[in-house]
């Protein structure tokens, strides 16, 4: 009975490929596990955000978010682009590249430790002892947090989505339990930040070790992929700064409490973005094996079909947002409109597959153009609009830069 239903299901998916022009069996198998992973991510994010929003003072929550907002800049030296390159290398059968990638990321990550110590010294000179100690805590974990997360990229390259989901859930659920427990018992910012770093570093280390014990050290290493990963990391430097700058400026001009509200307003959009990013995760291994001509013919149609899901999702959220905030974040209901503005940006999401295609094809120049143009535009708009218009200026800068880069991705893809 089970096999009969399974065979009929497979037959239906293969039949549907005549209309979707997509490998529906692969999409369903991988998509199920990635969707499950996103559900777990949404639930853990919801649990922490609700606990923090209701149990922590707004100032404390804002300081916590500020420290975490600076982290992406501090981990720039860990060569975050190596992850994407590793996925590509593993998909092509060169799994031992993982050891070289890990070593490279950890060595370069020591510069992030230095950066965190410099920040701690800066805040000591400024007389802010609290932030000094917080960045001293962060310094111990900067070289470890990002490299230990390599298991995600490795399993994506293997298309081993069940284990990716299982290990990913482990690295999300355990820290969530730890953080919620801490917030329930204390509002001490030092214990909270230390709990964050320790729980995430340990769980990621365990997951990475379980993956690497199956990989031979003496296998083929894709040194070209590591070089490409360095290029991707270089391209991402300015973008990383641009992505973190909004929170830094809000903390500087508006204060910790406003940063807390701003972060909560972005959570629904961020989670929706992560959910739809499943398509990118599924697409990269497939795109790595396709020609530019094939993608140019098939990709636009597939992207257009994404709007069948995106449009209803956006409309549903706009209707439900006021009620959701009143229930989950009652102290922050004034941020509903900002949350709506962020959610509308999902309409630009399909253009992200153009970037995935360019990455799979190794189009370094075009990826540089996209990355640098977006980052510079966003940084300039943030620096101009935030001081002038405060929080709304920040939101306007992000929306405008997002629209501009969506058009640029489309243009460069059609220039293949």
Task: With a cut of 70, say whether residue 190 has pLDDT above it.
Answer: yes
Task: With a cut of 80, say whether residue 24 has pLDDT above it.
Answer: no
For the stretch 34-68, pLDDT in tens is: 678 778 888 999 999 999 999 999 999 999 999 99
Confidence of residue 387 (pLDDT cuts 50, 70, 90): very high
- The predicted pLDDT at position 42 comes to 86
Of the two residues 304 and 374, the one the predictor is more confident about is 374
Give one DSSP letter per residue of 36-70, joined into a string.
HHHHHHHHHHHHHHHHHHHHS-HHHHHHHHHHHHH
Confidence of residue 284 (pLDDT cuts 50, 70, 90): low
Residues 6+ apart with CB under 8 A from 150: 82, 83, 86, 98, 101, 102, 105, 208
Which tokens sit at 207? 């997951």
Pick from 40, 59, 61: nearest CA to 50: 61
Strands (E), 346-392: none
Query: What's the average model confidence in pLDDT over 289-304?
Result: 68
Confidence of residue 89 (pLDDT cuts 50, 70, 90): confident
- DSSP summary character for residue 56: S
Percent of the chain beyond pLDDT 90? Answer: 55
Q: How many CB atoms lie within 10 A of CB 69?
A: 19
Query: What's the average model confidence in pLDDT over 81-96?
Result: 87
Task: With a cut of 80, say whether residue 192 has pLDDT above it.
Answer: yes
Determine whether 3 is exposed, middle or buried from the number of CB atoms within 10 Å of its CB (0-12, 13-18, 19+). Answer: exposed
Task: With a cut of 80, say whether residue 272 has pLDDT above it.
Answer: yes
Work out the mean pLDDT of the chain and round it to a whole number.
Answer: 86
């Amino acid at each position: 009975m089970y096999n009969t239903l399974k065979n009929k299901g497979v037959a239906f998916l293969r039949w549907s490929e005549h209309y979707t022009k997509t490998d529906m069996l692969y999409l369903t198998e991988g998509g199920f596990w990635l969707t499950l992973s996103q559900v777990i991510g949404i639930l853990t994010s919801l649990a922490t955000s609700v606990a923090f929003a209701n149990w922590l003072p707004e100032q404390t929550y804002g300081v916590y978010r500020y420290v975490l907002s600076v982290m992406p800049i501090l981990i720039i030296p860990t060569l975050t682009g190596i992850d994407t390159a590793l996925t590509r290398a593993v998909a092509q059968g060169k799994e031992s590249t993982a050891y070289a990638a890990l070593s490279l990321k950890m060595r370069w990550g020591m510069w992030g430790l230095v950066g965190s110590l410099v920040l701690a010294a800066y805040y000591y000179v400024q007389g802010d002892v609290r932030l000094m100690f917080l960045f001293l805590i962060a310094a111990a974990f900067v070289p470890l947090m990002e490299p230990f997360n390599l298991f995600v990229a490795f399993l994506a390259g293997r298309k081993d989505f069940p284990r990716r989901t299982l290990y990913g859930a482990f690295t999300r659920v355990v820290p969530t339990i730890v953080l919620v427990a801490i917030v329930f018992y204390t509002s001490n910012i030092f214990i909270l930040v230390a709990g964050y770093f320790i729980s995430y570093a340990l769980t990621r280390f365990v997951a990475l070790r379980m993956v690497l014990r199956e990989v031979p050290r003496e296998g083929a290493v894709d040194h070209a992929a590591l070089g490409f990963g360095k290029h991707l990391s270089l391209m991402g430097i300015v973008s990383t700064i641009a992505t973190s700058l909004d929170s830094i400026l809000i903390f500087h001009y508006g204060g910790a409490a406003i940063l807390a509200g701003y972060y909560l307003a972005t959570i629904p959009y961020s989670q929706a973005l992560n959910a739809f990013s499943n398509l990118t995760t599924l697409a990269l291994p497939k795109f790595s094996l396709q020609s530019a001509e094939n993608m140019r013919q098939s990709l636009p149609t597939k992207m257009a079909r994404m709007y069948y899901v995106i449009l209803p999702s956006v409309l549903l959220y706009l209707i439900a947002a006021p009620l959701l905030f009143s229930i989950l974040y009652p102290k922050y209901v004034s941020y509903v409109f900002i949350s709506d503005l962020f959610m509308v940006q999902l309409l630009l999401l399909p253009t992200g597959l153009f970037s995935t295609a360019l990455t799979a094809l190794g189009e370094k120049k075009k990826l540089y153009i996209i990355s640098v143009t977006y980052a510079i535009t966003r940084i300039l708009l943030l620096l101009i609009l935030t001081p002038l218009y405060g929080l709304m200026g920040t939101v306007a800068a992000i929306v405008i830069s997002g629209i501009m880069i969506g058009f640029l991705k489309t243009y460069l893809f059609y220039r293949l």
